[in-house]
Chain A
Amino acid sequence: MTTTVDARGFSCPQPVLMTLDGIKQADTGEIVILVDTDTSKENVSRAARSQGWQVKDVLEEGGQYRVTISKEQ
């Protein structure tokens, strides 16, 4: 199951806090995080990796980013 974290409009550290909350709740699987600045994209990716998650995909659409992170069971 994929959960979505909508962190658009927030600046650091909120997107990272929201991502970490998502990771805590999901434990494993896939999470999509929506952000709208490059800084948030980088910070969210860095935070995910530090938690042992993989950054699967970063898609840019209309000035926003869709960061997909995942962790195997």
Chain B
Amino acid sequence: MTQLKNIFATRWGIIGVGAFLGILASLLQKWGNPGNMGICVACFERDIAGAIGFHRAAVVQYLRPEIIGFVLGSLIAAYLFKEFRPRVGSAPIVRFVLGAFAMIGALVFLGCPWRALLRFAGGDGNAIFGLLGLIGGIWIGTRFLKSGYNLGRTEKTYTSVGWMLPLIMAGFLVLMFIFPQIQGEAKNGILFYSIKGPGSMHAPLIISLLVGLGIGFLAQRSRFCTMGSFRDLILFREAHLFSGLASLAVFAFITNLMVGQFHPGFVKQPVAHTMGLWNFGGMVLAGLAFCLAGGCPGRQLFLAGEGDGDAAVFVLGMIVGAGFSHNFGLASSPTGIGPHGIAAVIIGMLVCLFIGFTMRKK
């Protein structure tokens, strides 16, 4: 049983999970998701924020079932393998703020770390600036970790605390069934739907949900984390997590080639802009915020599924951050950065540095 229990956490296990993620992300795009956005945790949480009216950017509103699946798949895996551990209390408000600024940074680049890899694997050269920014931000974060930064210990808590985010996600799913998308309608009941733009592009609900559940399950088992991949390389020269991430990129690339989704270049890439400096800058902010919060957006969803209430607060921070991003004109679009994107990145960096410098224990 111990062997079986840990198979996904071995080197080959995590490479297999990376391959699974890469192939399915590419296929989700084929099945209807936006370009180089088979999976994007930041974009999809932003779409969820739009679907429930936290922002009113008409082109990015859809209650993405993949995100729901990630949390519930992880919850199922955690229960099956007796790893559900309800815990909370490690500076939740700080995690909320980090989540919000992580989202703001990611939306200046236009993608989470997963999408940065998927954009790269789809031939989008602008993703290189984002990936370099991500590594730069994580590098800054590791300096804080080395000098004693941490958010404090969690406490064991009631099982129901660990159930809060899974229940919210289950609630979202119920809303999707009560108020399903009506062709050509921008709203059904209380849910907003995009009729054009990335928010209107999606795989069939049931496929998105099943893929999300599968990925959530496997990612919980393997501890897959894009931020952790780079962090462990920088901090410990440990390539375990990185091998999963590399596998994701390679298999997404191969699948893209096979299904005709590889289009190398910089201009006219799907849901992307060409302002290199801010592709870089946005991801420095996001990378630093992920590192200070202990996980990439995907990992935070999987942690929340296994009972981590602080990771759940980070997720809610990201969803609220998406609201701010679009309401305040911080998010980029294919034409370039938003009117206040630069100011937001600078403020976000200052906030992250404040958190990093002032929360150190020797």
Interaction A to B: yes
- Tell me whether B277 is interfacial, beta carbon within 8 Å: no
Are B85 and A50 in contact (CB-based, < 8 A)? no
Closest chain-A Cβ to B297's Cβ sits at a distance in Å of: 16
B87 contacts across to A, CB distance below 8 A = 9, 36
B351 beta carbon closer than 8 Å to chain A: no
* A12 & B228 in contact (Cβ 8 Å cutoff): yes
* Cross-chain contact of B153 among A8, A17, A37, A50 (Cβ < 8 A): A8
Which B-chain residue is minimally distant from A8 (CB atoms)? B153
Closest to B149 in A: A14
A9 touches B145 (CB 8 A): no
Docked-complex contact B153 and A9, CB < 8 angstroms: yes
Interface check A57, CB cutoff 8 A: no
The yes or no answer to A46 lying at the interface (CB within 8 A) is: yes
Q: Whose C-beta in chain B lies nearest to the C-beta of A37?
A: B85
- Tell me the bound Cα distance from A16 to B150 in angstroms: 13
A38 to B240, CA, bound (A): 16
Q: In this complex, what residue of A is CB-closest to B2?
A: A58
Kindly report which residue of chain A lies nearest to residue B83, judged by CB atoms. Answer: A38
B-contacting residues, A21-38, CB 8 Å: 36-38
Indicate if B6 sits at the interface (CB-CB under 8 A): yes
Interface size class of A (residues with CB under 8 A): 10 to 19
Name the distance in Å between B230's Cβ and chain A's nearest Cβ.
12
Residue B9 lies at the interface, judged by CB distance under 8 Å to chain A: yes
A39 x B223 contact (CB < 8 A): yes
A52 interfacial by beta-carbon distance below 8 Å = no
Which of these, A13, A38, A63, contacts B231 with CB under 8 Å? Answer: A13
A8 to B154 CA separation, bound complex (whole angstroms):
8
Complexed CA–CA distance, A46 and B236 (Å): 11
Q: Which of the residues A14, A39, A47, A63 comes within 8 Å of B150, measured between beta carbons? A: A14
Using CB atoms, name the residue of chain A closest to B299: A12
Do A9 and B294 contact each other (CB < 8 Å), given the known contacts A20-B236, A42-B6, A46-B240? no
Contact with B along A1-18 (1 / 0, CB 8 A): 000000011111110110
Chain A residues within 8 Å of B294, by CB: 11-13
B141–chain A nearest beta-carbon distance, Å: 10
A31-71: contact bitstring with B at CB < 8 Å (1 yes, 0 no)?
00000111100100011001000000000000100000000
Q: How far is the CB of A28 from chain B (nearest CB, A)?
A: 20
Question: With A and B bound together, what is the CA distance between A36 and B157 in angstroms?
Answer: 13
Q: Write out the residue numbers on chain B whose beta carbons fall within 8 Å of the beta carbon of A42.
A: 6, 9, 223
Q: Fill in one digit per residue for B123-153: 1 if any A CB lies within 8 Å of its CB, else 0.
A: 0000000000000000000000110001011
Q: How far is the CB of A11 from chain B (nearest CB, A)?
A: 5
When C-beta atoms are compared, the residue in chain B nearest to A63 turns out to be B85
Chain B nearest CB, measured from A8 CB (Å): 7
Does B150 lie within 8 Å of A10, measured CB to CB?
yes
Residue B185 lies at the interface, judged by CB distance under 8 Å to chain A: no
CB distance from B36 to the nearest CB of A (A): 29
Q: Is the CB of A11 within 8 A of B154?
A: yes
Residues of B within 8 A of A50 (CB): 236, 238
Docked complex Cα distance between A12 and B293 (Å): 10
Q: How far is the CB of B49 from chain A (nearest CB, A)?
A: 26
Task: Give the residues in chain A near B228, CB-CB below 8 Å.
Answer: 12-13
Q: Does B45 contact A (CB under 8 A)?
A: no
Who on chain B is nearest to A60 by CB? B82
- B66 sits at the interface (CB 8 A): no
Q: How far is the CA of A47 from the CA of B146 in the complex (A)?
A: 16
From the candidates A9, A12, A63, name the one contacting B154 in the complex (CB within 8 A): A9
Closest-CB distance, B83 to chain A (whole angstroms): 5
Q: Is B47 an interface residue (CB 8 A)?
A: no
B223 touches A13 (CB 8 A): no
The answer to the question of B235 belonging to the interface, with a C-beta cut-off of 8 Å to chain A, is yes
A36 to B122, CA, bound (A): 40
5 pairs from A and B in contact (CB 8 Å cutoff):
A9-B87, A10-B150, A13-B145, A17-B146, A39-B223
Chain A to chain B: the 9 pairs with minimum beta-carbon distance, closest first:
A9-B153, A9-B154, A38-B83, A39-B223, A14-B150, A11-B294, A42-B9, A10-B153, A37-B85
Further contacts, 5 of them, CB under 8 A, given A10-B154, A36-B156: A9-B90, A9-B152, A16-B236, A17-B146, A42-B6
